[in-house]
Structure formats: C-alpha cells, structure tokens
Amino acid sequence: MSGAPARRKSLIPLSGPSGAPVPEPDRAGLATPASAGRGRLRPQVTVTGARVDPRPLGDRHYMQACVRNLICYLSEHHFEHAISPKTLANPSAKDFQAIFTFLIRQLDPNFQWSGKFEDEVPQLLKRLQYPFTVSKSALYAVGSPHTWPTLLGCLTWLVELLVYDAEARVIKERETETLMRQAGMLEGGAETDGGVDLDEERAAASRAAADERLFFDYLTATYEAFLAGADDFDEFDRELDTALGSRTTHAESQVQELETRLATAKRHIEQLQSQSQAAQASLMSLAQKREDYSTDLEKFRKLIAQLESHKGMLERKCAERQTDLERKCAEHERLSAEVDALKERLARQQLNAVDVERIARKRRDLRANQDRVRQALTEAERKLKDAEAARDQVQSRVDDARRSLRGAAEGVGLSASTVAECLWGRAGDGAIDNTEAITQPKRTLQPLIDQLTERLAGEIDGLQAELLTLQEKIDAVEEQVMLRRNDNNTLELKHQRLESDYKAERETMASRLRELADEAAALQDDTAKLRAENHAAMQASQRAIEGKQAEWREAARAVEQERDRLHESLLAAVEKLTEHKTHIQETLGALREVFEGIVEEFIGDREQETEEQRSVGATASPQPTTAELQLEAVSKQTEKLALHSPAGRTAEAISSKPAQRQQRRQLDENAPPNVARVPAR
C-alpha cells in the first residue's frame, strides 16, 4: 500500500500540564485514493459476494427511528442547514448531498469532492468498508420510495460509525491519561490516600505502566503508518517528545512547589516561635490577674453569704405571712357561715317602710365609707409596689454580683469545683481597709450596698406591716359591704315578687297555655309523618347500597382473577427470558474460548505467512487461512445457537438487528489489529 497514513488518534493526552486540551494534529483526508490505508474507522470485513441488508428498512417505525437519530446527531454537531422529519421524509438530491458531505467531513475536515457526487459516493463507501452496495441509480433518485430507505440506512450506518469512533477515542484517551497521572506525568499525578503518597513500589509500577502504554501507542501508530506506505515518522517522534517532555515539566513544577512549601514551612516555624515567646509573657500577666481575681473572689463570697442570710430571713417572714393568711381564710369561712345564717334570718323577718328607709340610709353611708377605704387601699397598693420594686433592685444587684463572680472565675481558669468551694466554703471576717479601697475602687461600694440593703429591708418590713393593717381594714369593710348588699338584694327580690304576683293575669296565661298545647300536638303529628317518610326512604337507600356492594364485590373478584392471570403470564415471560439469558451467557462463554484459541492460531499462522512472504517475496494475493474460515464458522454457529435456544423464538421477536451488529462490533474491537473481522449476516 502507498499514500499518506490513515487518520488516527494523537499520542498527546487529553490535557497538558496546565489542564488545557491539546489540539489533535490533522491527518490526510479521505478524498484521495491514498487514504484507503488501514485505519481505526475502517473495519476489515471479508466479503465473499453480494450481501442482503438484514435491517428492516421497509418498516415505517424503523425508518422514523433512523430519522430521529440522524436529526439528533446533526443538531448536536451544528449542521448548517435546516433539518426536520418532514424534510427527511422525501429529501432532495441536494439535501442528501449536504448531509452526506457533512458526515464525511466529521471524519476528515479537509474533505473535498474531486469529481461527480454520484460517481464518488460508491467508491468512498467501499473504501469505508460499508457492507452493502449503493448504486448510482439510487443516488440519482434520492427521494423515491424504493431508494430512500437504502440511502437512509447508509446515513444511519455512518452516524453509528462516528458515534462509536468518538466514544472509543475518548475511552482510550482517558485510560492513557489515567496511567500518565498515576505515573506523575501530568498534574494531579500520583494517587494519594488520605493525603499520603502511595509507596515507592506502586508509584514505580504506575510509571512503568504509563511508559509502556505510551511507547505501545507510539509503536502502534508508526506501524499503522508504515503499513499505509509512509516513510517519514518525524511527526510521531515530535508527539512522543511532547508527551515525555510534559512528564519532565511536571516533575520540575513539583520540585518548585516543594521548595516553595519548604520556605513557607520555615517562615511558619519562625512565626510560631515568636508567638510562643509572646504567649509566655502573656501567661505571666495572666497569672498576676489570677491572683487578683482570687482575692476579689473571697470578697464576693462573703457578700453572697450575707445576701443568702438575708434571703433566709425574708423566706421565714413569707412563711409567717402564709400562716396568717390561712388563719384569715378560716376566719373568713366562719364569718361566711354567720352571714348565711343572718341572711336566712333576715329573709324570715317582716320589714316596713321605716326599716327600708333606715337600711337605705345606712347603705349610702357604707358606700361612702367603702369609697374612702378603696382610696386608702389604692394608696397602700402603690406603696407596696414601690417596696417590691426596691426589693427587685436589690435582688438584681445580688444577681449581678453573682454573675460578675462567675465571670471572674472563668476568666482566671478556675474549675466549677473550685468556684463552688469559694462560694460555699468557710468564710472569714476579713474587712476592706483604706489601702484596698484606694487601690481597688470597686470594693468601696460594698459598705454602701450593705447600708442600702438594711435600709430597704427596714422599709419593706414597715410597708408589709402597714399593708397587713390596711388589708385587715379592707376585709372588715368588705364584709360589712357584703352584708348590706345581701340585705338590699333580699329586699329587692321581695319587692319584685310582690309586683309579679300583683300583675299576674291567670286567665290570660291559661289561654296561652292551651294554645301552646294545641301547637305542640300539631307538631307531634307532623314529626310522626316525617319519621315515617324518612324510614321508607332510608330502607330504599339501604337496598340500593346493598345492590351496589354486591356489584362491587363481583367486579373486585373479576379484577383479582385478571391480576392473577397477568401475574402468572408475567412470571412465565420472565422465566423464559431468564432461561434465554442463561443460554446466551453459556454460548458466549464457549464461543469466547473457541475465539481465543482461533485468534492464537491465527496470529501464529499470520506470522508464519509473513515470514514466508518476506523470504520468498511472493506477490500473489493471500488466500483465506484456516483461522479465517473458523471465524466464519463460529459466526454461523452463533446465529444457529441463538435461533434454536429454549427462548430463541421469543427473544428473536424482542431483540433487533442493531443489537446483533453491536455484539459483532464488540467482538471486532476485542480482536487484534491484523485479525479479519467477522462478516455481518
């Protein structure tokens, strides 16, 4: 073979040391016959004669799926012309030429038509090893119903080939890049585990694997170019130098980074040393403050002890007041019983106009006394509130002193047990002298606080005594007011009762009662009639409900039976599919073993044949070897086993031809570069 090498993948990884993508160098196009050399996009298929296209090109649903896939690919790759399902339903020759040219230029961006379109398309498809024949007459009548399905299948084949090529190239480049990163050839190189680099042995193994992979790709590319007739391999050498140079550049960048990190670490150590010296000085000052705070703590402890004793005295007074309250409640109950007895006695007494006038006059006097007492009570309550406010202020000061004590203890680092011992331990009688008052002004407030506390306690006791006196007066006045009010209510009730008895009209009330009795009888009759009607309607509704329930139960039984039948059918289908899957897996395992043996035998035969051709220099075309014939026999056996499997007929109705082609494509991908591909059936 002669001419430029076929288009191939670059040896340069997806990204350089900086992470930016490296452009792939251009290769010779598909326009010249010299580009018919062996390439990754051109599967080698042994063609023995005209082959029938197994795809259901006449099926409308299959054609619609092909149209959707074609439109999706063209849209994703920015096809410059407008495209739609309506256009592809009956395309023109110009539309087909534009789409075909766009797909070919995805393989070779520099492709140009050198002759007539209808003459070059069959030759181009033949060089691409398209397994079926496209005639020139079909290209002259693109939109006709009998030629368009064939051309649509050709475009679909090109799209599948391009998609496969893109995915295979990305996977291979990612594998190469992963190996190079593991070997430290690219940034983010060696793997780490929790921030610690892998051991030296694994790193060396990764670098060796990356070197072998890189050199293997270099040898593969140069050998493919050599088989295509190329004599100049400078471009491949430059790419290899670039790939190896990236490793050197990355190592230099790592060294610079480590030097920078070392300098940063030294500066950080110096900063820590200076900070340690400053911390020592600060620690000494804090120790002095701690001693001062300990002295203050003793003073606060004494203050809290005094406040606690005062609090106990107030609690005892509250208990005494509670006892007085209970005694007053018992006395109130006794007086209430006496009042009830007096009310009953008053109710039995006969009053005249003079007594009523006397009682009214006394009630007015009592109301006037009540108003005066209420004013005195309001004034007493105001004084009580003032006293309570003063007490709250004292309590808030005590709480502030406690919080200050706890804050000071936490500031000097004292534990909770130490603070508790200081608060509740043994207390001394130390006093604050004038020297301490001058050096520590805050402590001069302690005597003032004690004087204020004693004065407020005296005022609170006086106000509470005055409050109790006023409360007793108020209780006495309220008892008198309650007695007079009850007397007044009793008189008013008697007066109203006499007036109602005097103004009653017995005859009118009797007639009204008769009318009401008649109305009640009529209402009872209407109620009985409505109950009878409602009972009949309820029975009819009950019968209708029972009928609907019977229908629902019947429908539920039918649905349950149908669900059981569908469930059994689904289980049977799943069982058949499982059997078919098991059979296919066993068959593929056996075929893989046979295929591996054939490949080994074929490689040996091909090497022997190559040696014989080189030694003899024969120019005759090679004949099919035994391994090629065995490969074809294996392909036929695969189809026969698939058709005669336990669930073969069911699987044949479910599976599609593209799946078979994908399986053959995977077998071709796993084969060595020089092995002939299994022909499509």
Q: Give residues with Cβ within 8 angstroms of 257, minimum separation 6.
A: none
The residue ranges of every structural domain in the chain are 12-230, 300-503
Instruction: Judge contact between 645 and 583, C-beta under 8 A.
Output: yes
pLDDT: is 640 or 586 the higher one?
A: 586
Q: Could you report the per-residue pLDDT of 201-220, keeping only the tens digit for each?
A: 776 676 777 777 777 888 88
pLDDT: is 651 or 95 the higher one?
A: 95
Buried-exposed string 232-255: b where 16+ CB fall within 10 A, e elsewhere = eeebbeebbeebeebbebbeeeee
Closest CA relative to residue 478, chosen from 374, 606, 344, 391: 374
- Where do the H-state alpha helices sit in 504-643? 506-616, 626-643
Q: Could you report the per-residue pLDDT of 539-580, keeping only the tens digit for each?
A: 877 787 888 788 888 888 888 888 788 878 777 877 777 888
Which tokens in the block code for residue 559?
A: 């649905």
Q: Could you report the per-residue pLDDT of 242-258, keeping only the tens digit for each?
A: 877 777 787 788 888 88
Q: Which pLDDT band, with edges at 50, 70 and 90, does 528 fall under?
A: confident
pLDDT: is 199 or 152 the higher one?
A: 152
Closest CA relative to residue 86, chosen from 77, 95, 76: 95
Angle, in degrees to the nearest 10, between helices 353-411 and 445-503: 150
pTM as predicted? 0.29
pLDDT: is 347 or 446 the higher one?
A: 347
Q: pLDDT at position 435, please?
A: 44
| C-alpha–C-alpha distance, residues 194 and 533, integer Å | 86
As a three-state string, the secondary structure of 241-257 is HHHHHHHHHHHHHHHHH
Highest-pLDDT range among 220-234, 320-334, 539-553: 320-334
Please report where in the chains the tokens 């150590």 appear, as a residue: 269
Q: Could you report the per-residue pLDDT of 78-116, keeping only the tens digit for each?
A: 999 888 888 888 899 999 999 999 999 998 888 899 889
Please report where in the chains the tokens 């670039």 appear, as a residue: 242
Beta-strand ranges (E) seen in 94-193 are 192-193
| C-alpha–C-alpha distance, residues 187 and 156, integer Å | 40
Instruction: Judge contact between 332 and 326, C-beta under 8 A.
Output: no
Q: Which pLDDT band, with edges at 50, 70 and 90, does 537 fall under?
A: confident
| C-alpha–C-alpha distance, residues 11 and 221, integer Å | 8
Residue 332 identity? H
Please report where in the chains the tokens 């068959």 appear, as a residue: 587
Mean pLDDT lowest for which of 272-281, 304-313, 337-346, 532-541? 532-541
Give strand pairing partners of 197: 192
Cα dihedral across residues 57, 63, 67, 72: positive or negative: negative
Domain 12-230 superfamily per CATH: Ncd80 complex, Ncd80 subunit (1.10.418.30)
| C-alpha–C-alpha distance, residues 158 and 165, integer Å | 10
| C-alpha–C-alpha distance, residues 332 and 479, integer Å | 9
| C-alpha–C-alpha distance, residues 298 and 292, integer Å | 10
Cα angle, residue 140 at apex, residues 136 and 146 outer, rounded to 5°: 90
Closest CA relative to residue 666, chosen from 586, 595, 577, 594: 595
As a three-state string, the secondary structure of 506-538 is HHHHHHHHHHHHHHHHHHHHHHHHHHHHHHHHH
| C-alpha–C-alpha distance, residues 663 and 634, integer Å | 14
Q: pLDDT at position 44, please?
A: 38
| C-alpha–C-alpha distance, residues 342 and 348, integer Å | 10
Residue 518 identity? D
Instruction: Answer whether residue 282 shows pLDDT above 60.
Output: yes
Question: Which H helix or E strand runs over 197?
Answer: strand 196-197
Q: pLDDT at position 604, please?
A: 78
Mean pLDDT lowest for which of 290-299, 510-519, 555-564? 510-519
| C-alpha–C-alpha distance, residues 138 and 144, integer Å | 8
Q: pLDDT at position 153, please?
A: 92
